[in-house]
Amino acid sequence: MAVNLSKGSGNGTQPPEPAEPPRQQPRKVRLSKDKPTAAVPAQAGQIRVNLRWDDSGSPVDLDLSCFWALANGKIGCVQALGDKFTVPPHSQNPLIRLDEDKKSGGGDGENLFIDMSRAHHIRRILVYAHISDGVPNFAAAHAVATVYQEDAAPIVVELKGPSYRASVCTVALMVGDEAGGLTVRHEVRYFQSAKQMSDHYGWGLSFRPGQKFHG
């Protein structure tokens, strides 16, 4: 009598291949004064900086914004105020892009995109939140910023310990490296104005009154 040497249930059929285990979401990296930095390695796609806040108790409109400085010496800002949504301005292929200006912190919040395939052009980026409408009260907003990157843990910064009646709060300072990556450093410093913040970080920007443009 022939002997069946194949593995299986005894009838010669092969068992089904085991299903791949569900892909686990990477755990979050929370930055703080005790753990102030995290690395975003060089990569081909985009990273997304997301800002969400709670406006259910005290209506407040936060704007996600950033100062930027490039390797070629150019400096500027990305913000809803003054319709400055991209770097370069009004570009169809921007290095840095703010998606839209939202009046509420719910849903997807506000998002800032950075093209990591061209991160070698970046010297530094200062991400910050600005109270554009409502009582200047970061304590009531419970704002949280998260840096999302592909196949890596999200980097979280909570805007804690607010200064009374401050209208601007820095979130993180991103510094470019020679390999095309970014080092993300926890900041969370509170200021009365963007000019005060620019002076503190030595950005060298000048300011004049502006307004938002809504379509």
pLDDT in tens, 71-119: 999 999 999 888 899 999 989 999 999 998 776 656 789 999 999 999 9
Q: What's the CA gap between 185 and 128, in Å, rounded?
A: 12
φ/ψ of 15, rounded to 5, equals -70, 155
Give 149-185 pLDDT, tens digit per residue: 988 999 999 998 777 789 999 999 999 999 999 999 9
Residue 210 is predicted with a pLDDT of 56
Residue 21 has pLDDT above 90, yes or no: no
pTM for the whole thing?
A: 0.83
Place of tokens 């892909």: 23
Distance CA 98, CA 131 (A): 16
Backbone region of residue 37 per phi and psi (left: phi > 0; alpha: psi in -120 to 50; beta: other values)? beta
Domain locations in the chain as residue ranges: 41-201
Q: Which CATH superfamily is domain 41-201 in?
A: sav2460 like domains (2.60.60.30)
**pLDDT at residue 19 greater than cutoff 70:** no
What token pair was written down for 156?
A: 């979280």
Q: Return mean pLDDT, the chain.
A: 85
Instruction: Give the pLDDT confidence score for residue 8 in this predicted structure.
Output: 47
Within 8 A by CB and 6+ apart from 14, the residues are 6, 7, 8
Question: What distance in Å separates the CA atoms of residue 25 and residue 166, rounded to the nearest whole number?
Answer: 36
